Amino acid sequence: MAVEYWEMGTWKRKGAKRYTFAVKLAHSKKVVEVNWKAIVLAVVLLVAVLFLINIAKPQQQGKKAEQAALILKEVGRLTELNRQQNLTANDFTPIRRLVATSKEAQGELKEAEFFALHGERKHVDHSLPQIYSAFVGMEVPFPLDDLAHASVYLRYNAEQLAVKSFTEARKT
């Protein structure tokens, strides 16, 4: 819209401490009063909200990075216990709490627990790092691994898990 006239330098006082600036738009009979204080206040609030959002993002990323570091430490501890043949179901409790926010990591953890329960140490060894990878979103698809897991599942009559592994292998 084009401006027909603009009362330059004429500030109109409306009530206590409220200043407006009148503008008449072309082809209109209305005079629009612009409340500059309200506009400045709105801009300041918008900048403040954006600032707070930008502060919150790194804190959330920092918490996830801290959680990922704890998961990596737990993976190392569990791997060492597995190599010493001392891995039990109770050893998975701390990492279970850490991966509670990631469905992908929970799925990898369930696989590792299944293999540990059935004494499949070799499969536990390569399933544990997948927990960390799934949590940080860097999971590398490896269809042969999924097929090997499916054969182990079938050996222990875990048909649903075998079907899931076959499905994952097909996707990759």
Q: Please spell the DSSP secondary structure of the chain, one letter per residue.
A: --EEEE-TT-PEE-STT-EEEEEEETT-S-EEEEEHHHHHHHHHHHHHHHHHHHHHHHHHHHHHHHHHHHHHHHHHHHHHHHHTT---GGGGHHHHHHTTT-HHHHHHHHHHHHHHHTT-HHHHHHHHHHHHHHHHT-PPP-HHHHHHHHHHHHHTT-HHHHHHHHHHHHH-
pLDDT digits (tens, 9 = 90+) for 122-162: 999 888 999 999 998 887 777 888 888 899 999 999 999 99
In the chain, domain spans: 60-171
Lowest mean pLDDT among 54-58, 64-68, 152-156: 54-58
Can you give the pLDDT at residue 7? 46
pTM of the entire predicted model: 0.63
